[in-house]
Amino acid sequence: MIDYLYLGLYRIFGGLLRIMPRSGVIIMMRLLARFAHAISPKHRRTIATNLEIAFPHQLSANEKKKIGIGAFTNLLDTTLGIIERDGMAKEEVIQNVTFEGEAILQAYRDAGKKVILITGHQGNWELLSQAIAIKFDLTLVGVGRKLDSDLMDKILKANRERFNVEMVYKKGAMKGCIKALNQNKVVGILVDQSIRLSQSITVQFFGKPATHTPLASILSRKFGVDLIPAFISTNDYIHYHITIHDPIKTIKTNDHEEDLKRLTQAQADVMEQVIREHPNEWFWMHKRWKRLNEGLYE
């Protein structure tokens, strides 16, 4: 029953997004973001704690509120964008997307080299994957969590695959990524969430220890694949800009653990840099530092 409730909401928003001008959608997103921020003291506390870690004694209460509302707006833009692009032509998806550093990725493609893209919950990350797949005419295999609703997961899967974006689920992600690389597909990995200590590598993130997924580092070292950071940003929720950064070169010495540590820290460093440049577009509602800092979010 709940599946059909989700489906109904999906179709309602789909209808609204088709008839509303983009300016109206943006106003709706900002109003909903303010409402969500106002009614969620739990998320406000998490956002405030995270911002104090990242920018200690640098932000006023009003600045923290503005960034928090921005984080909710960004999440809505990402979510509603999935619905809005359902049925769009590929050319329409990327008509307002510009690229910087595209020659970096194109050089790897032209040379027939395997590629692993790394990014995070920064900007409209769903649009990022689709735009890159369309722009470079490639198949991008992302790693994600299966939705609780089987019906909605099936719909989202079909939506992504229309734009050459496939998914492997976190359970079995390593096997799925290896298969994708062997098929010369591009693997995309979100690297900015807290994960279990037993499955992680510890990094310094904004000067504080945090857990970090080792998946990209393991694949890079094992198969000799460079990691290419790619991120998306917007100033107006109409025009989007994708920046492809210089690659993180693969490392393979006799010190396996040190290699993985260096590769993983490099990912954390570029993620931190991007967040500092566009703080209102990151997912601040996530308890990023919880695993290694007991009591931080109490």
Please give the pLDDT value at position 189: 97
pLDDT of residue 13: 82
User: What pTM was computed for the model?
Assistant: 0.95
Distances (CA, A) of 265 to 60, 202, 251, 262, 283: 30, 8, 13, 5, 20
The number of distinct structural domains making up the chain is 1
**With b meaning 16 or more CB within 10 Å and e meaning fewer, what string describes 223-250?**
eebbbbbbbbbbeebeebebbbbebbeb
* pLDDT score of 1: 67
Are the C-beta atoms of 280 and 122 separated by less than 8 Å? no
Indicate whether 275 belongs to any domain: yes
The two tokens of residue 161 are: 């695959």
Q: Report if residue 298 sits inside a domain.
A: no
Supply 139's token pair: 């198949």
Residue 272, strand partner residues: none
Rounded to whole angstroms, how far apart are CA atoms 162 and 157? 9
Would you state the pLDDT for residue 217?
A: 98
Contact 77, 124 (CB under 8 A): yes
Q: Would you write out the chain's pLDDT as a tens digit for each of its 298 residues?
A: 687 787 788 888 888 888 999 999 999 999 999 999 999 999 999 999 999 999 999 999 999 999 999 999 999 999 999 999 988 999 999 999 999 999 999 999 999 999 999 999 999 999 999 999 999 999 999 998 888 888 888 888 888 989 999 999 888 899 999 999 999 999 999 999 999 999 999 999 999 999 999 999 999 999 999 999 999 999 999 999 999 999 999 999 999 999 999 999 999 999 999 999 999 999 999 999 999 988 899 8
Question: Which residue segment(s) compose the domain that 125 sits in?
Answer: 2-292
Residue 165, in any domain of the structure: yes
